[in-house]
Amino acid sequence: MKEIYKKIWELAKPYYEKGRPMDIDHIEWIMKEALIVSEKENIDDEILIPLAILHDVGYAEVPKDNPFNLDIRKAHMKAGAKIAKKILDKVKYPKDKTEKIVYYVSVHDNWAFGDDEYKRDKTLGAFKDLDFIWMTTPKGFPALMKILGKNKKEMIEYIESRPEEEGLALTTKTTKELFEKYLSDRKKELK
């Protein structure tokens, strides 16, 4: 991982320590996978990786509540955009890339409000996919089960219904394969 990404993570981590209990695991997983996706899908890692690192920093400054609550989602995106700008400015990140990343942080959960910009923007789409796939990972699955109050079987049904139900079809070949692998692993654990 590039040194600049490590610096961004160092500055972001204290915010995540104040955020949701699962956030550090979430960000560490998504950073690793975003590197792979950016390479395989020819996406600018200088946008995708900082977006992956910074997208949920705003949870440090919103009420501790269900992150699926739409008011909380809006508030964390707004707070996160301000924090992301502050962090990127501190590491002297290129202005044009900073603007794009801050914008993405400010809208990354807008799919929950019916916005389908991610369908027209490969970077935002790949990011949205990774953010969604987290709930199928070994650490994300139990964390989201707890938040949603579901057992393993109900959680798998919920995950399987979401992409179609919410118009959230996965946008890249790499993220589709990743999702299928993780979901298959969770299903095997049911047996």
Give dist(CA 121, CA 117) in Å, integer.
6
**Domains of the chain (ranges, CATH numbers):** 3-190 (1.10.3210)
Report how far apart, in Å, the C-alpha atoms of 33 and of each of 1, 4, 39, 189 are.
12, 17, 10, 22
pLDDT digits (tens, 9 = 90+) for 35-66: 999 999 999 999 999 999 999 999 999 988 77
Query: The tokens of 65 are what?
Result: 């509540």
- Record the pTM: 0.92
pLDDT digits (tens, 9 = 90+) for 72-97: 889 999 999 999 999 999 999 999 99
Three-state secondary structure call for residue 163? helix
Three-state secondary structure call for residue 4? helix
